[in-house]
Amino acid sequence: MADVRPLSGALAEVTLDDRQSVVVKHADAPGAVRAEAAGLRWLAAAGTVRVPAVHGHDERWLVIDRVPTGRPSADAALRFGRALAALHATGAPAFGAAPPGGPEDAYIGLAPMYNIPGTDWPHWYAEHRVLPYLRLAVGDGTLRPSEAAVLERVCERMPELAGPAEPPARLHGDLWSGNVLWGANGHAWLIDPAAHGGHRETDLAMLQLFGCPHLDKVLTGYHETAPLADGWQARIGIHQLFPLLVHTVLFGRGYARQALDLAEQTLRA
């Protein structure tokens, strides 16, 4: 008989009769499990970053490998940066492209995220990654219309702020530090993706927004493999607007203030 050990939230670790450990995850939102499974398989298909194997899923349950966790190290971070750059370089058919077999109506965390393809990153990012969450935040009263106007001005200026044009990258899409597991084998593993085609600086900006152990080494490894375009540091803020507005919708006013501060700094630069 399998042994079940509850983890956090809707997760449980299950040790099967053959002693293999898997994680079983439950989701209530329709399409969330299918999107996550498709995202994990798409990232794994690149053969670059390490992700847990998907053993099966239905509309509510997902079964994946259990990752034995260790401690972050500078060497592991350097390897992770190189692998992340290689992942991004495998590309995507379009900005906003969903993973093969993944739904258009996906999720980032508990927030809906729509995978609508586009060819022009600045306009696509404004229309499909910033403005939807801005409208939700105004609708629920978390942001005032006068504050939303500041963020709308950033969206209007996105073509001039976005830097050199780049091809669509294969993104994890929700790359905060909690979705990076430092494995016992000295490698970083990625979990809980909101995978889609996007701009590679978005993944890196999210790592910096919420902190990542040995981030300097991650960036060093990344630049060794695929240097970012000049001025990337100045563009971090525009890429962080997306996750900050998602968090505004999910968790409230504190994140709205951060998004507004970034928008105001961007407009002053």
Which residues are identified as catalytic? 174
d(CA 171, CA 49): 11
DSSP 3-state of 216 = helix
pLDDT in tens, 226-243: 999 999 999 999 999 999
Residue 27: pLDDT band (50, 70, 90) is confident
Statement: residue 41 has pLDDT above 90: yes
Residue 18: pLDDT band (50, 70, 90) is low
How confident is the model over 49-54, as a mean pLDDT? 96
Q: In this structure, what token pair is assigned to residue 168?
A: 């669509």
| Per-residue pLDDT at 23 | 82
Residues 6+ apart with CB under 8 A from 112: 29, 105, 106
d(CA 165, CA 234): 15
d(CA 238, CA 168): 17
Q: 26 pairs with which residues across the strands?
A: 61
Are 102 and 115 a contacting pair, CB within 8 Å? yes
d(CA 19, CA 45): 26
* Chain centroid to CA 193: 6
Statement: residue 184 has pLDDT above 70: yes
| Per-residue pLDDT at 1 | 40
| Per-residue pLDDT at 77 | 97
Half-sphere exposure of 59 (CA within 13 A, CB side): 4
Domains of the chain by start residue, with CATH: 68-268 (3.90.1200.10)
Are 16 and 55 a contacting pair, CB within 8 Å? no
d(CA 110, CA 94): 24
Residue 246: pLDDT band (50, 70, 90) is very high
Report percent pLDDT > 90 for the chain: 81
pLDDT in tens, 112-150: 999 999 999 999 999 999 999 999 999 999 999 999 999
pTM of the model: 0.93
pLDDT in tens, 60-93: 889 999 888 899 999 999 999 999 999 999 999 9
H helix runs in the chain, sequence order: 32-45, 74-89, 121-125, 131-139, 145-156, 158-161, 200-210, 215-225, 232-251, 253-268
d(CA 75, CA 262): 32
Angle of CA points 93, 113, 39, to nearest 5°: 55
* Residue (of 27, 23, 110, 12) closest to 67 by Cα position: 23
Residue 207: pLDDT band (50, 70, 90) is very high
Statement: residue 4 has pLDDT above 60: no
Q: Which bin fits 91, alpha (ψ -120 to 50), beta or left (φ > 0)? A: left
Q: For residue 189, what is the enclosing H or E element?
A: strand 188-190
Statement: residue 267 has pLDDT above 60: yes
Half-sphere exposure of 245 (CA within 13 A, CB side): 30
DSSP 3-state of 25 = strand
Lowest-confidence pick of 2-6, 19-23, 113-117, 168-172: 2-6
Q: For residue 190, what is the enclosing H or E element?
A: strand 188-190
* Chain centroid to CA 127: 18
| Per-residue pLDDT at 233 | 96
